Structure 1
Amino acid sequence: MSIHIGAEPGQIAPYVLMPGDPLRAKWIAENFLEDAKQYTDVRNMLGFTGTYKGMEISAQGSGMGLPSFSIYCTELLKDYDVQSVIRVGSAGAMHEHVKIRDVVLAQGACTDSNLNQLRFEGIDFAPIADFELLQAAYGVGQDRGTSMHVGNIFSSDSFYNDRSELVSRTSEYGVLAVEMEAAALYTLAAKYARKGLAIVTVSDHLITGEETSAQERQESFGDMVEMALETIVAVHGV
């Protein structure tokens, strides 16, 4: 039993979807998983396990930012032997060709966080997605006709960032969108030799100023969740 999750052995599936919002984890369980049961409410960071197309899959909230995500992801990988984690969340677009409601499959994740600088003592570690999950998600997206992009994203340590020049500078180098967790996922997946992928939906645009409505976010989030679940089936299903 881990400190922050507190689930009993066997209560968490080998494959986990991780939204930031714990209520999103509950929403995933209620709308996409059969016979879902809650295994934790420690600190109100909810987690559930159910089945999708006969496969056991869990949905676990992570909180916002790399430090919070790192706590829950570390415990999932280390204490519960989780094999694959897919982050499902929102992101801000940083390129004009990336549109509102588009899906971004994060091939790699830049970051301004000190977590990896401390871990690697000055070496610029490059956090990247698991190729098998990435390839499967791209195939699922193509089959579904999803408007999607594959490329680099930026995992920021700050939601309200005073350094606006970083947006233009990183976008010049092809960074597609900004969020706050993927770099931690990819680093931890590498540490524990597991699979990790971030699938994010564009909820707002840093260049055009566009934003999605609450209803649009819900609908697009559902499409992304189905895409993530089908990716798990494609990679780990019998």
Structure 2
Amino acid sequence: MTIHIGANPGEIAETVLLPGDPLRAKWAAETFLENARQVNDVRGMLGFTGEWNGNPVTIQGSGMGMPSLSIYVNELISTFGAKTLIRIGSCGAMQQDVGLRDVILAMTASTLSTPSRGIFKELNFAPCADWSLLKAAAQAAEAKGTPTHVGGIYSADVFYDERPDLNEQMVRHGILGVEMEAAELYNLAARYQRRALAVLTVSDHLLTGEALPSDQRQSSFGDMVEIALQAAFAD
């Protein structure tokens, strides 16, 4: 048990999926896991542990933004021994050829700053995904026929952005999409020698203004969860 995770020893699996929304964690656990049981409800940030194809899996909400995710990932690694951590979440597309409901596999995550910036100081550390997870996720997505894009994303500090000039440079440099958590996840995975990946579903488009209605977002995310699970346990 930690300050933010009320699970008992042995209740958190070595493989953890990390949606930002705790209700999405509940939906994913009920939809994809067998024998799912709630193991955390501290501050309403729900976590569940069950089995997928006989493999123990925890699905733990991580909240919005890198500071929130950093709290949960630090505790999952340091206290509960998590070894594979996969963010499953939504993102905004930043390229014309990326469509709504497409999946983005984040090879790298650029950012202005993260909670880890104080450690790196003047160094611009380049956090990236675990290669074995990235490769397995790409293969799983191809096998499912899911429209998928692999490349760099941008992890933003703010949701209501007032830097159109920065967005223009992200688009110019081929960044596929924007979200708010993956860069710090990759930093922590590198620091503690863990495997990490961000599997993201496009819910809106910064260039076209298109967006999925809120009632369609959850139902559109099934492919993302299946891809994450298959990647986590690929041979």
The TM-score normalised by the length of structure 1 is: 0.96
Equivalent AA in structure 1 for residue 161 of structure 2: N
Gaps of 5+ in 1: none
- The residue correspondences of 1:49-198 to structure 2 (distance < 5 A) are 49-198=49-198
1:16 maps to 2:24: no
Q: Structure 2 CA distance, aligned partners of 1:192 and 1:7?
A: 21
Q: Structure 2 CA distance, aligned partners of 1:204 and 1:43?
A: 28
Q: Structure 1 CA distance, aligned partners of 2:114 and 2:139?
A: 34
Partner of 1:228: 228
- CA-to-partner distance for each residue in 1:60-100, whole Å, 9 max, x for gaps? 00000000000001100111010100100000001101111
- CA-to-partner distance for each residue in 1:130-154, whole Å, 9 max, x for gaps? 0000000000001000100000000
Equivalent AA in structure 2 for residue 169 of structure 1: Q
Secondary structure of the 2:11 match is: coil
Secondary structure of the 2:88 match is: strand
Q: Structure 1 CA distance, aligned partners of 2:83 and 2:77?
A: 7
In 2, are the aligned partners of 1:22 and 1:44 still within 8 Å (CA)? yes
After the TM superposition, which parts of structure 1 deviate over 4 Å for at least 4 consecutive aligned residues?
none
Equivalent AA in structure 2 for residue 175 of structure 1: I
User: Equivalent pairs: percent with the same residue?
Assistant: 54
Secondary structure of the 1:228 match is: helix
Q: Structure 2 CA distance, aligned partners of 1:186 and 1:203?
A: 22
Following superposition, the deviation at residue 213 of structure 1 comes to 2.3
Q: Structure 2 CA distance, aligned partners of 1:171 and 1:87?
A: 23
In 1, are the aligned partners of 2:62 and 2:69 still within 8 Å (CA)? yes
- CA-to-partner distance for each residue in 1:179-226, whole Å, 9 max, x for gaps? 000001100000110000000000000000011123432232111111
Following superposition, the deviation at residue 117 of structure 1 comes to 2.6
Following superposition, the deviation at residue 114 of structure 1 comes to 4.4
**RMSD of equivalent CA atoms:** 1.0
Gaps of 5+ in 2: none
Equivalent AA in structure 2 for residue 213 of structure 1: P
Deviates further, 108-117 or 45-54: 108-117
Secondary structure of the 1:150 match is: strand
Task: State the number of aligned residues.
Answer: 235
